[in-house]
Structure 1
Amino acid sequence: MAEQFNFSSPPFDLLRAAERERLSEALSVGYYAAGETLIAAGSAVPCLFVVLKGVIEERGEDGKLFAQYTSDDIFDIRGLFSGSSKHVYCAVEESITYELPASVFHQLCGANPDFGRFFQADLAAKRQLARRDGQNLAEFILTRIAREHLLPAIEVSAGLALGDAARLQLSRGADALLVRQDGELGIVTRTDLMTAHFRDGRSEAEPIGPLAHGPLACVELGDFLFDAMILMTRKRIERVAVREDGEVVGLLHLTQVLSLFSTHSHVLAMRIARAESEEELRGAAETLHTLIATLCGNGIRLRFIMQLVSALNEQLLERLFELLVPPALRSRCCLLVMGSEGRGEQLLKTDQDNALILAEDLPVEQGLALMQRFSEALLSFGYPPCPGGVMASQPAWCKPLAAWQRELNQTQLEGQPEQLMRMSILADASPVAGNRQLYEGLRQGLLRFAQEGERWLPDMAAAALQFDTPLTILGNLKTREEHLDIKRGGIFPLVHGCRVLALREGLEERGTLARLGALKARGVLDEGLADNLAESFELFLQLRLQQQLGGARDGREHGLDVARLSRHERDLLRFGLHAVKKFKQSLAWQFHLESR
């Protein structure tokens, strides 16, 4: 039976061939009747136990039940490292275990540091050790911008003649020149020079300054190549400047990035930008599924996928807005997205969550009519209507800036539950199209609420505690017919708790991971807890996405089929939910909610 040991399950997949052979030679199988003791409290732990069949209970000397272990679970790690077991382990039914002698276990830990670290790691380290590197896309994500990736950065004066500029480019093999004007750098590409001379008929003697584009888009030497690609995608450009210690040291071109990255996300961005009809835009929207599945299937870390998909979603909504809203009206309104879209955390298509800020001279009826068409188009793209009506096609979410500001003032004064719920939604708002200056007035109102409406924040924070964490009193996963609602049990309390803390601290970060980083930096959250919450959040989304991609790809499906998870995934999920439980306790203490 020992020959059937599963080496594909973490952390045993970290073992090299010779180490696997050593484990197989030393492994034995134990059989235990119901009620039989495997480890007595205070005794030395003879081996690492891996449950093959049955149920093992861990109890304290006072009989208190701490945990139950079933198929694929491992124990007693703590005892193996400390020298003796604190608790007693008994079989509650006929059980079979794999048993690896303690001496061999410690030898393997010493010979393979990754294997040893797994058993003493926190959630972040456990997830890192479980990831698979070596695939092209994963290697791309982990690749940092180096000098060998760069084209030369040649800076010239604004008065340099066009002819001299063209000859300089040719002699130096440069793709573009940097032009300094009034202390700021702009860029002139080879195409710009050709267009100026051959299409516009400019003389070789004319200065290069008027051709310069600015401000210059920049990344830092040592940043991830992926960050550069996201910046190019957002700004729809093909070059970024690379800086070191504040000085530009080279240029990075899109072709260099695409040569290392094969999912063609920038091509998709171009399809969105060039779409001339709803039908063309719908076709581009449909390919997002393929992009997400490709990235996820190749082991790309979820936070990178979210950044890229967020940038593409923003461009899709902005282009649809441009197709449906006449040019004369675009400067008189501002489209906002909320929810996971506003936080930059949407992956698969979820409910529409958007709003419209109107200029005072744009009638509400006209704005509602435009947004009705916008909502219908999104529905045809696969984005279902929001059940709660949080859409710009509804009067409550389409109104002049002054009306939005009055609502914020009333919320500060009254703090009714419905008002606080809307405040929570608006806290994630992000402008994506139209006159973004209109959003500035709303943003200032949100900041004032943090200063003047702080007395209502405990009422807002209480919502994060309304759903139980799906853990049993034994610390195991609590499921209903093998399903676990990960949104209520894990994602919502984490997202909402960070949102309320961010409001209280006056933070303007919208993403949950960014908020966690800012809260950790301010000392609002303990560093270890903040790091584990960030990993937990990413884990919850990843497990849900994996099951969604394997099913109907419905972004509104929040249930996890725990039976489909591996033993390692169940362990990580338990760890993550324990971190959320600790976070909820911190929220209760910070907002004095213990007695509620």
Structure 2
Amino acid sequence: MQENPIASRIFEFLRKYPPYHQVKTTQLLEICRSSELTYYHPGDVVFKAGESISNKVFVVYKGMIHLKWPDSQEVFESAEPGDTFGIRAAFSGNPYVLTAEAAEESLILSLNLELFRQLMKSDAKFSSYFASGLASGTMLRHHQWEQLSKAGNNLIDDALKLENFFDHERKPITSSQAVSIPELAKLMIQHQVGSVVITNDGGRPIGIVTDKDLRKLIAAGQDPCQLKSADIMSGPVITIDKRSSWSDAYLTMAEHSIRHLVITDDGTPHTVVKGVISEHDLLRNTSMQMLSTLKKIKSAPNVETLAEWRSDAELKLRKFLDQEINMDNILPLANKVNDLTTCRAIELALSQLGEETASLTPENWCWMALGSLGRREQVLRTDQDNALLYLGSEHFRELLIKFATIVNDILETCGYEKCPALVMASNPQWCLTLDEWKRTFEKWIRQPEPKAVMYTTIFFDFRPVYGNYPIAIELKNYILELIEKNQKFLSYLAANALSAPPAFTLFKSLATEDSGEHKGMFDLKGRALAPYADIARILAYQHKIAAINDTAGRFETIAKLEPHYAELLQDAAKAFKWLLKIRWKNANGNHTGRYLSKSFLSPLDRQILKKALMPLQELQSIIETRFQTQLLR
């Protein structure tokens, strides 16, 4: 054992890694002065499972430490430079659960436990890091993801909740049905508002009158003095819960094409009015400026303008990612952008066809999004995955393919590259009648060849975007019936999910590509996102869940159906959303964010990444056993 007299060198080292990077200089220097630096040969043990705790907390200075289960000697996790380990036992007072063994020549810092505890008590950010399970040798559990979000600064600010705006900004202006129009106008002028909510005797909203309604009244030559509020109010009102976010508000506003939204206690017209949010309020909020972009996408007069506004939306979505807005808020916005762009592309294609569109009524066909678009998980633009489902003859197919070709071209102009594998509606192979789709899916399920199983990972996440939704729902229900009669098919899906490249090496370091242009990078899609999505899909079809397509939503729903695995499934949902955010933050131009370089991730992100992959390993073990995939080999 050799004591390191150069505390400043240790200080500079710790300063590079979380959570030490945010500790006050005086406090960190005190810990460094009392620390020791010890050399370990490969195979040397720092501590053994079952041993009583020491008065130290350990940090890897150089080399690598394997944290092993005592019986199997299986590596639970690897600690690399900057990683803290041995902390759980130090604070619980219980013996060590794992054995810490040097995997290579290593230098280990021993930090004074008493000083470490004092720092935990005095520094909330420091303690929240370890409370969130980020030390090596600890599992990240469901409740800790909330703490982790705070430690990583990934939660949306409470100020973005509507109730805070109305608590601090202004109170709603309300009136009764019997009030005259002149009195209503005076109310608006007096309080400098553009709307008044009309309520019943119990204070519940039954209508709304806006300044636009008053202007229409004057323009029509009507006498305001002869009218009451009830004569011109719009009703029933569209309402939203006061606990909703700004993004919820403007999505609702965009969906209903309205300029004012009434906020109530529970989001229905049956409780008291808490406020009114206007389009102007949304535009004042810097994170809500996409409302105007959504409206412009929806009404773009031509392809060039549509492409321009889709690019504008992309810039705003990227800004939201950079601002660390929660994925629960970003994903609905991105999905709305993608769907509105697709719908407008379809409408522009129909207008280009002119008279030929007479037979292309939406009752006869349905445009379906596939893959990540089908799962509502595409934030920034990648390639297209879509298909057509229709009712009609072979002649109708020819017209639909011509139409789909125009749509695919428009989407390409809008930044969605054409699928290299031609999984697009313009491909005759994926423009089929309802009966043809049923036969196709039946063949894949009854004869699960490798290519068929691969196709199901793309097509089983289909979602109707435009046209006849009921026929798409009928097709989804038909798939559930087929799987119910062919349960072994789920075993083939499980085997395919387990064939994904591992996220960790044998010694629990992140597995990276060993050759090619992505050498040394982590395949976030292939080793993490796709396996999570595959497992969620398998479990969803096992439980006959058809209405929920997104991966996190599937895990959250299944958690309610499998209470013994509820915590694990909730962990998986949160981990998946974090991984999804990392991918889209990493995306840039032609780079889809699939491969992560070490330089992109901060030390904190690297720690969280390793923790986010742990539920995946447990789930892989569960589906291997549940679906007996070993019998297929």
Q: TM-score, normalised by structure 2?
A: 0.81
Q: Distance in 1 between matches of 2:451 and 2:237?
A: 44
Change (3 A) 1:520 1:411: same
Q: Is the 8 A contact 2:385 2:423 kept in 1?
A: yes
Q: Distance in 2 between matches of 1:375 and 1:446?
A: 27
Change (3 A) 1:424 1:53: closer
SS in 2 for 1:247: coil
Matched, 1:290 2:315: yes
1:392 Cα deviation after fit: 0.9
Note the alpha carbon deviations across 1:244-299, whole angstroms, 9 max, x for none: 14425132223223323246211221331332111111111222332233112222
Change (3 A) 1:56 1:503: closer
Residue 322 of structure 1 corresponds to 347
Change (3 A) 1:400 1:538: same
SS in 2 for 1:268: helix
Change (3 A) 1:62 1:582: closer
Aligned length: 588
Q: Distance in 2 between matches of 1:165 and 1:125?
A: 46
Residue 502 of structure 1 corresponds to 540
Residue 349 of structure 1 corresponds to 381
1:57 Cα deviation after fit: 4.2
2:111 aligned to 72, 97, 100, which one?
100
Note the alpha carbon deviations across 1:398-430, whole angstroms, 9 max, x for none: 234454455456667666666665555343222
Residue 136 of structure 2 corresponds to none
Structure 1: gaps spanning 5 or more residues: none
1:567 Cα deviation after fit: 3.3
Q: Which amino acid aligns with 2:57?
A: L
Residue 175 of structure 1 corresponds to 194
Q: Distance in 2 between matches of 1:422 and 1:413?
A: 14
Q: Which amino acid aligns with 2:253?
A: M
2:271 aligned to 244, 247, 259, which one?
247
Q: Distance in 2 between matches of 1:432 and 1:63?
A: 51
1:576 Cα deviation after fit: 2.0
Residue 331 of structure 1 corresponds to 362
SS in 1 for 2:120: helix
Residue 329 of structure 2 corresponds to 304
Note the alpha carbon deviations across 1:210-238, whole angstroms, 9 max, x for none: 96666643321222233223333444433
Residue 493 of structure 1 corresponds to 531
Q: Is the 8 A contact 1:509 1:515 kept in 2?
A: yes
Q: Distance in 1 between matches of 2:186 and 2:206?
A: 21
1:431 aligned to 445, 457, 464, which one?
464
Q: Which amino acid aligns with 2:380?
A: L
1:97 Cα deviation after fit: 3.5
SS in 2 for 1:431: strand
Q: Distance in 2 between matches of 1:282 and 1:352?
A: 15
Note the alpha carbon deviations across 1:547-585, whole angstroms, 9 max, x for none: 324xx4533x52222454333323222222221011112
Matched, 1:191 2:212: yes
Q: Is the 8 A contact 1:73 1:567 kept in 2?
A: no
Q: Distance in 2 between matches of 1:414 and 1:30?
A: 60
Structure 1 window deviating more from structure 2 (367-376 vs 245-254): it is 245-254
Q: Distance in 1 between matches of 2:296 and 2:28?
A: 49
Matched, 1:559 2:595: yes
Q: Which amino acid aligns with 2:322?
A: G
Matched, 1:44 2:69: no
Residue 540 of structure 1 corresponds to 579
Residue 81 of structure 2 corresponds to 71
Q: Distance in 1 between matches of 2:193 and 2:600?
A: 54
Q: Distance in 1 between matches of 2:447 and 2:171?
A: 59
Q: Distance in 1 between matches of 2:486 and 2:104?
A: 57
Q: Distance in 2 between matches of 1:355 and 1:184?
A: 43
1:25 Cα deviation after fit: 4.7
Q: Which amino acid aligns with 2:88?
A: R
Residues 116-515 of structure 1: matches in 2 within 5 Å?
116-120=127-131, 121=133, 122=140, 124-125=145-146, 127-132=148-153, 138=157, 140-141=159-160, 144=163, 147-148=166-167, 152=172, 154=174, 175-176=194-195, 187-198=208-219, 200-201=220-221, 204=224, 216-245=237-266, 246-249=270-273, 250-262=275-287, 264-326=289-351, 328=358, 329-332=360-363, 333-360=365-392, 363-405=396-438, 407=440, 422-449=455-482, 451-452=484-485, 454=487, 456-481=489-514, 482-507=520-545, 508-515=547-554
Q: Which amino acid aligns with 1:254?
A: E
Q: Distance in 2 between matches of 1:65 and 1:247?
A: 58
Structure 2: gaps spanning 5 or more residues: 1-8, 134-139, 352-356, 515-519
Note the alpha carbon deviations across 1:146-186, whole angstroms, 9 max, x for none: 543566364765x98877765675677653455799x9956
Q: Distance in 1 between matches of 2:349 and 2:472?
A: 20
Q: Is the 8 A contact 2:446 2:489 kept in 1?
A: no
Residue 354 of structure 2 corresponds to none
Change (3 A) 1:444 1:255: same
Q: Which amino acid aligns with 1:189?
A: T
Matched, 1:56 2:34: no
Change (3 A) 1:215 1:11: farther
Residue 523 of structure 1 corresponds to 562
Q: Distance in 1 between matches of 2:409 and 2:525?
A: 27
Q: Is the 8 A contact 2:11 2:29 kept in 1?
A: no
Q: Distance in 2 between matches of 1:11 and 1:291?
A: 31
Q: TM-score, normalised by structure 1?
A: 0.86
1:542 Cα deviation after fit: 2.6
Q: Is the 8 A contact 2:579 2:609 kept in 1?
A: yes
Over the aligned positions, Cα root-mean-square deviation in angstroms equals 3.6
Q: Which amino acid aligns with 1:580?
A: L
1:461 Cα deviation after fit: 3.3
Q: Distance in 2 between matches of 1:449 and 1:170?
A: 64
SS in 2 for 1:252: strand
1:76 Cα deviation after fit: 1.7
Q: Distance in 1 between matches of 2:236 and 2:486?
A: 38
SS in 2 for 1:384: coil
